[in-house]
Structure 1
Amino acid sequence: MKKLCLILTVFIFSQSFAQKTEFLKIRKYRVNDLDEKLKETSGLSLLNGKLYTFNDSGNTPELFEIDKKSGEIINTIKINGKNTDWEALTNDGNNFYIGDFGNNGGTRKHLEIYKVPFENDLLKGDSIKLISFEYPEQKEFVPRYMQTDFDAEAMIYLDGKLHLFTKEWGAKSTTHYIIDPEISDKQKARKTEVYKTGFVVTDAAYFNKKLYLVGYTKKTEVFLDVFNETEPGVFFKEAPRHYYLGSSLSVSQIEGIAADETGIYISGEKFHSPLGGAKQSLFFIPKDKLKD
């Protein structure tokens, strides 16, 4: 009887998983390995048809333009700043916004975003602005490594504001915060909505009224959620399309996503574990492979 109950439980779980999750194995959409210089790539952004990325905590403060068809580095752009823990990259068409707000331990009190003017493939280094913020809901800053809900690695620019999506290790949710890039003083991020993803969100992209969130679980499962923008700047009123993309063991640790009219680009940093690993990689999924 117990065995029958177990079989029924597994069957019901698998049926539920199949009904809620669509399978989009990105391994077959792999473009190439990324250069060894990008083994800790974190974040992607498309500006004027060109694809950019950078490395995360402790690495040099540089942006890399990479070839969309080969993943090779085309150009390296030095930033006059410090890479404490760069995790997210977006732009407004004229400026890059670099999210230096990685906070896996939950102890950081100085969360910052670099606003970097960028025109004609050149930085305006003398005009870099620092945007500082805090989470008003965070009252304690005791170390809770990979347990804190006040971490973030995902950011988009929309309607004159920066929209952050948290990486909640404990709750396995994401909270949508809004930051005003025109405020010079330290500001409180404004909480707007929450969604239970079931995975930690590692990057975000926005295109044509759709929000794309990627991330993974501790079991190395990689997921993509695609939300419709139901109202200006509101995404979580409807359930998203939920895609299973594969395992980090075969597709790397997914840390970046960017979208345009052709499809979505996804990048992952080098991943290794006792069970195996994968090299840093770039993927491209054509638009017709994603359902509307």
Structure 2
Amino acid sequence: MNKLVLISLLIVAQACAQKTYLGKLDQLGKFPSKLKEVSGMDVTKDGEIWVIEDSGNKDKIYRVDKDGDIKESLKIDHAKNKDWEDLTLDNDGNLYIGDFGNNDNEREDLVIYKIPEDEMDKKEPNADKIEFKYPQQNDFPPQKDSLYFDTEGFFHLNDHLYIFTKNRTRPYSGKTLIYRVPDQEGDYEAEFLGSLFLCADQDHCSVTSADIAPDGKTIALLSYGFVFLLTDFEAPDFTKSSIKIIDLNTDTQIESVCFAGNGTLLIADEQNRYGGRKLYEFILN
């Protein structure tokens, strides 16, 4: 049997063995027209929601309410929005912006901007740079079967930023690669932690955002239409996690997820031909 065919059959077999649950998004609000491409979101301990937009948009973060209305915007100093794809906060209130969007897998200037908590009350907060590279990537871009180095999801845990890559391989392998870097300014080779097989459907199984619950017991990996809930892990090894797949029953381009408490997700989508530009709530069972 052809090796490529065998690999494809194994992936399909794995996908068929995974049970998918149905879920329903409850709309909270709609973003204004100036926030058409919300790509990252997180919630502070005080319940403030911060969002960013991706490439082609301003070097700003926005504080919004649950109706999606903008309450505040801050221009980030020393930070350029080349392709901002996710946003996360740590327990001390420091905010991190992942400028690691890499659709063609050809970037060599990946960076996470760290905005210290004591800068957040300024009109133009200053950002520190956490620069990094993937040790497995030697070619820019690599061959089509190695297009693992686009990224749209990360979160903070225990002094590190955990990165989940967006799979663009041909043929599609269904895997996300997991890395971590320290949460301090510097230039790093990311530490490779392993990979996770999510599912074999290219349209639904590539990570677009990530977050971890406040109690550290559940990880949410968002994709187009699905959310994957990871449990039963011991950080930093997430490769043996139990995975629950939830079909959110939407055709919009959902790009952002964060926990608003241990049992609640906030999810945002970008505007496309099916609608979007909305903020949703999803209650975990």
Q: Tell me which interval the TM-score lies in, with the shorter structure as reference length.
A: 0.7 to 0.9
- Greater shift in the superposed pair: 157-166 or 48-57: 48-57
Tell me the residue number matched to 2:106.
Answer: 107
- Residues 37, 143 of structure 1: alpha-carbon distance in 2 compared, 3 angstrom cutoff: farther
Residue of structure 2 in register with 1:241 after alignment: 244
Do the aligned residues in 2 keep the contact of 1:45 with 1:257 (CA within 8 Å)?
Answer: yes
**Structure 2 residue aligned with 1:204:** 210
Per-residue deviation, 1:142: 3.1
Partners of 1:120 and 1:98 lie apart in 2 by: 14
Which residue in 1 is equivalent to 2:179?
A: 177
| Amino acid in the other structure paired with 2:141 | V
Residue of structure 2 in register with 1:71 after alignment: 68
Asked whether the equivalents of residues 158 and 233 of structure 1 are also in contact (C-alpha less than 8 Å), the reply is: no
Q: What CA deviation, in whole Å up to 9, does each residue of 1:135-154 have, x standing for no partner?
A: 11011113879982111000
TM-score w.r.t. length of structure 1: 0.82
Q: What do residues 70-90 of structure 1 show as CA deviations (whole Å, max 9, x unaligned)? A: 111111111112100000100
Equivalent-residue separation in structure 1 for 2:65 and 2:37 (angstroms): 17
| Per-residue deviation, 1:232 | 2.7
Alignment check: 8 A CA contact 1:106 1:145 kept:
no
The letter of the residue matching 1:102 is G
**Identical-pair percentage:** 32
Partner of 1:263: 264
Q: How many angstroms apart in 2 are the aligned matches of 1:233 and 1:36?
A: 39
Amino acid in structure 2 at the alignment position of 1:213 = L
Q: Which has the larger radius of gyration?
A: 1
> Of residues 38, 43, 52 in structure 1, which corresponds to 2:40?
43
Shift of 1:22: 0.3
Maintained 8 Å contact 2:50/2:61: yes
Aligned residues: 258
| RMSD of aligned Cα (Å) | 2.4
1:269 alignment partner AA: E
Please tell me whether the aligned partners of residues 42 and 258 of structure 2 are also in contact (alpha carbons under 8 angstroms).
yes
Partner of 1:219: none
Q: TM-score, normalised by structure 2?
A: 0.84
Which sections of structure 2, spanning at least 5 residues, go unmatched?
1-12, 200-204
Distance across 2 between alignment mates of 1:126 and 1:257: 24
Q: 2:7 corresponds to which residue?
A: none
Amino acid aligned to 2:272 = F
CA distance in 2, matches of 1:104, 1:120: 31
- Residues 162/206 of structure 1: CA separation in 2 closer, same or farther (3 Å cut): same
More strand by share: 1
In structure 2, the partner of 1:254 is 254
Counterpart-to-counterpart distance in 2, 1:281 and 1:51: 14
Q: Distance in 1 between matches of 2:144 and 2:94?
A: 32
Cα gap change, 1:271 to 1:284, in 2 (>3 Å): same
* CA separation of 1:75 and 1:127: change in aligned 2, threshold 3 A: closer
Q: 1:122 to 1:146 in 2, by over 3 A?
A: farther
1:20 correspondence with 2:19: yes
Structure 1: distance between partners of 2:138 and 2:52 = 31
Q: Quick one: which amino acid aligns to residue 36 of structure 2? A: K
For 1:172 and 1:101, locate their aligned partners in 2 and report how far apart those are by CA, in whole Å: 20
**CA distance 1:164–1:124, change in 2 (3 Å):** farther
Q: 1:165 is paired with a residue of what secondary structure? A: strand
Report if aligned partners of 2:74, 2:124 keep a CA contact under 8 Å in 1.
no
**Distance (whole Å) between structure 2 residues aligned to residue 191 and residue 120 of structure 1:** 31
Paired residues of 1:106 and 1:144 also in contact (CA < 8 A):
no
In 1, the alpha carbon distance for the partners of 2:59 and 2:125 equals 16
Name structure 1 gaps, 5 residues minimum. 1-12, 217-221
Greater per-residue helix proportion:
1
Indicate the residue corresponding to 1:10 in structure 2.
none
Counterpart of 2:84, as a letter, is W
